[in-house]
Chain A
Amino acid sequence: MENGFLRVEDLRLHFRTMRGPVQAVDGVTFHLGRGRTLVVVGESGSGKSSLAKAILRLLPRNVLKYEGSVYMDDVDVMKLSDDQFRRRVRWVKAALVPQAAQNSLNPVLRVQDQVAEPLLVHGKAKTKEKAYERVAEVFGMVGLPTDFMSRYPFELSGGMRQRTAIAMALVTNPDLIVMDEPTSALDVLTQANLMNVLKRLKQSTEMTFILITHDIATASDLADDVAVMYAGQIVEQSTARRFYTAPLHPYSKMLLSSVPTLKEDKELQHIPGTPPSLINPPKGCRFADRCPARFDKCSQEPPLRQVNGSRVKCWLYE
């Protein structure tokens, strides 16, 4: 994993709010190999979406702190100027599939123009016609009929808009696609369809994916690696096989035992308590207050340790 395509080191993104600074992403470190799919799981408010925004430098107005390193192909893109970042990284190296495709498409532009836009902006297509050809191609890849190309977003259903968003991410053939809960706003059947589209894409392309989701069960179909986020930090990262069979962190264990499965008849568990506020999070281990295995040392911040090829942020594995 060391020589991966993406290396994120000690990434921090804090927001300024009326009630104080929010540590949405606080010291996140992970590596991701080329062509692999990383699933980032966590509860609502654990900072998953903020992590995506931090990697893609999509910052709101109230940023307080934004630091750390993000290496893509050994280039620290955090050091690039905004203009350099726009030209060299945005949609060339990394694209985004947003959470709510309903609002992510400009209501007054035809979808073909919006999907073709990155090609023209980054000089990957000389003419509009050439760009439309590529748009037709990616529409095929996500299972959208090409006669939808000249429609407006409001003429598409929710599932089709989400497919359009995926097509848009694919159009420039970027190295990395970050998907921020791409299916969570859709009904279950559409979700299943879309997951199949994603599975086919994963098999047929060399792209690297980061899939952000709270749906641990469905994500298992796609995951090569899994990272668990809790209160703005990654508490465990390991391969999917190891994570789904033998999770290390107490939080991961409880998270997995709260997921219903069809195969076995098990008692579902819930995690008592609520995640800590990201304004003034507790010192030491942030999960300590809800942790059944808590002991004295948990009042100090645990380091991220290598355990059998996984990394875990817990004193139990010292």
Chain B
Amino acid sequence: MAISEAPRPGVESPAMGRTRSDVSGFVRVLQYSAVKLVSIAVAVVIAVYLTILVANMGGYVDQMRIATIKENVGMWVYQAEEFRHLSGAEKRELIDQFAQVQIQALRLDQPFPIRSLRYLWNGLTLNLGYAEGITSDSGSRQVQHILLERLGPTLLLQASASILVFVTALFMGLALSRGYGSFLDRLVVALAPTSSAPAWFYGVFLILIFAALLGWLPFGGMVDAPPPPNKFQYFLSVLKHLILPVAAVFTSTIFASIFSQRTFFLIYSSEDYVEMAKAKGLSDRAIERRYILRPTLPTIITSIALSFITLWVGNVTLEQIFNWPGLGQLFWLASRAVDTPVIVANTIIYAYLLAITVFLLDIVYAIVDPRVKVGAEAQSN
């Protein structure tokens, strides 16, 4: 071309410069990640400690446990044949001795601040211990076993519902943002407030219609009783039980989700660079992929990741209504029975999952959004 006096440096030097800045950029990402990791870890410790304080009612639960031990030992001493000849004072002394042994064995004699730190350490190292009263279906009292047994059903229910809602909302939102102001668009906007009612509310009606009235689907539970012997039939049975609770979650969240995705895409599709892409002659699909979805990828990833963490808690009322043997139901049972280890364990694992997700999100952000990766670099330039 005619204008060649413009500066055009050689190819080698910029290439080298690029590699060097990539390496130092990598070091910076590592530093950045390390700082993030430490701050997240501190947050987890604080959250778990607070949970322990609350779940132990500031040490009061241990007073209750000491009282229970004393009562049990007392009953045993008063009823046992071999102690019948002892006087009242002697019996009381004996009770104190036996109780003290048990209290020391459980290390309940330490002051609560020290005990709370021990609980904290056990919790953080996932040394979850034994439940007070709740047992798993297989009869184990280990908190780990109880939680693991309940995790599967909760994940099955929540993950299938969440994925269904997320995918539907994403594509419907994208389609509606294109057809802004159409009849379907206005319909969804009008229906968005239906999501103010919780899933169990729709669950009740779904049970009424499809289980009680029509008798097409089961009232609740996760599998037929007795469970079908072969794997395929078992799978079909679970699927059949899954339909109503998933439908309940879907109905209660779908319109608000579509509405928010649509609004999100409407905002991002009126960016100047989207118009430029159109002016350049890109096809609608290419514009959608490279100029709407690609720049909004970080935000989309965040929303799906955060929605996945909430799966862990389960849906307490919904699982109650559908008699679904998941974590939500367990949490409800544990709260009623003041089963501290189960409550604490549930929260600790939630805190860990949240922390891991937030940390992973930071890394994913650095990968998908070039502005994050060089954030520290840009400041130093």
Residues of chain A whose beta carbon lies under 8 Å from any beta carbon of chain B: 56, 58, 61, 86-87, 89-92, 95-96, 98, 100, 103-109, 117-118, 121-122, 136-137, 140-147, 150, 152, 154-155, 168, 200-201, 203-205
Contact = CB atoms under 8 A, between A and B. Distances in A.
Given A121-B286, A204-B3, A96 B276 contact: yes
21 contacts: A58-B278, A90-B278, A90-B279, A91-B281, A92-B281, A98-B272, A104-B273, A104-B275, A104-B276, A105-B276, A108-B294, A108-B295, A108-B370, A121-B280, A121-B282, A141-B1, A141-B6, A143-B6, A155-B374, A204-B2, A204-B3
A233 B351 CA distance: 64
B3 A141 contact: yes
B17 A147 contact: yes
Nearest to A142: B6
Contacts of B11: 146
Contacts of B374: 152, 155
B66 interface: no
A137 B6 CA distance: 10
Contacts, number: 110
A58 B276 CA distance: 9
Contacts of A205: 2
B273 A105 contact: yes
A203 B1 CA distance: 12
Contacts of A106: 273, 277, 290-291, 294-295
B289 to A, nearest CB: 11
A107 B14 CA distance: 22
Contact of B9 (A61, A90, A117, A147): A147
A168 B273 CA distance: 13
Contacts of A87: 281
B129 interface: no
Contacts of A145: 7-9, 14
A19 B242 CA distance: 51
A169 to B, nearest CB: 9
B371 A95 contact: no
A185 B290 CA distance: 26
Given A140-B3, A204-B3, A103 B281 contact: no
Contact of A118 (B2, B4, B280, B297): B280
Given A86-B281, A106-B294, A200 B7 contact: no
Contact of A103 (B273, B290, B370): B273
B180 interface: yes
Contact of A147 (B3, B14, B286, B294): B14
Interface centre among B280, B368, B371, B374 (most CB of A within 10 A): B280
A92 B3 CA distance: 22
Given A103-B272, A106-B291, A108-B370, A61 B8 contact: no
B227 interface: no
Contacts of A203: 2
B87 interface: no
B369 interface: yes
B288 to A, nearest CB: 13
Contacts of A154: 370-371, 378
A65 B18 CA distance: 50
Given A98-B276, A147-B9, A205-B2, 9 more contacts: A61-B180, A90-B280, A98-B275, A104-B273, A108-B295, A108-B368, A144-B6, A147-B15, A154-B370
